[in-house]
């Protein structure tokens, strides 16, 4: 019987016990900011359906090409951002999906894509007043 070195066993054990991606339900911009600090590649923040009033959402994270970090509506199109609301996306390999900015207004941008390899999908920005409705830098 051949003996497998201890290092090989340890390497196998680490690969076998990687944690799956997690989903976290959030209901305010404060919840998004707090959860963003703890996100790992593949994790998802799920925004509770409803009207989010005067919420300046800042979504930060670091995903990978294979495992982006996602911020999405619980039901696409059923998260309404109104009043002084905006979304800022900062980081790498982030995806934001299913939001509806409806007559929102701010002195800055409605949606600001400030990261690299970040995407805004299945979202609507309609009406309102912003410096830019969607700003990508």
Is the pLDDT at 51 greater than 80, yes or no?
yes
Is there a domain that residue 70 lies in? yes
What is the H or E stretch that residue 15 is in? helix 6-16
Is there a domain that residue 5 lies in? no
What is the H or E stretch that residue 36 is in? helix 29-36
Sign of the dihedral defined by the CA atoms of residues 56, 57, 60, 65, in that order: negative
Is the pLDDT at 129 greater than 90, yes or no?
no
Is there a domain that residue 12 lies in? no
Structurally, how many domains does the chain consist of? Answer: 1
Is there a domain that residue 6 lies in? no
Sign of the dihedral defined by the CA atoms of residues 123, 125, 130, 136, in that order: positive
Is the pLDDT at 6 greater than 60, yes or no?
no
Q: Band of the pLDDT at 135, cuts 50, 70, 90?
A: very low
Is there a domain that residue 8 lies in? no
Is there a domain that residue 41 lies in? yes
Q: What is the pLDDT of residue 43?
A: 98
The predicted-structure confidence for 59-97, as pLDDT tens digits, reads as follows 999 999 999 999 999 999 999 999 988 899 999 999 999
Distances (CA, A) of 95 to 39, 41, 60, 73, 85: 13, 11, 11, 11, 19
Q: Band of the pLDDT at 55, cuts 50, 70, 90?
A: very high
Calpha distance 134→130 (Å, rounded): 9
Q: Which two tokens stand for residue 113?
A: 């894509």
Q: What is the pLDDT of residue 107?
A: 58
Structural domain of 74:
20-136
Is there a domain that residue 109 lies in? yes
Q: What is the pLDDT of residue 104?
A: 67
Is there a domain that residue 15 lies in? no
């Amino acid at each position: 019987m051949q003996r497998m070195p201890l290092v090989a066993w340890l390497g196998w054990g680490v690969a076998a016990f990687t944690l799956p991606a997690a989903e976290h339900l959030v209901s305010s911009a404060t919840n998004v900011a707090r959860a963003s600090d703890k996100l790992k590649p593949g994790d998802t923040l799920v925004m509770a359906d409803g009207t989010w009033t005067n919420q300046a959402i800042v979504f930060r994270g670091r995903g990978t090409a294979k495992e982006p970090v996602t911020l999405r509506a619980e039901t696409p199109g059923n998260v309404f951002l109104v009043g002084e609301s905006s979304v800022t996306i900062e980081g790498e390999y982030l995806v934001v999906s299913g939001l509806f900015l409806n007559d929102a207004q701010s002195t800055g941008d409605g949606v600001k894509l400030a990261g690299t390899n970040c995407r805004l999908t299945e979202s609507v920005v309609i009406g309102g007043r912003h410096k830019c409705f969607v700003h990508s830098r």
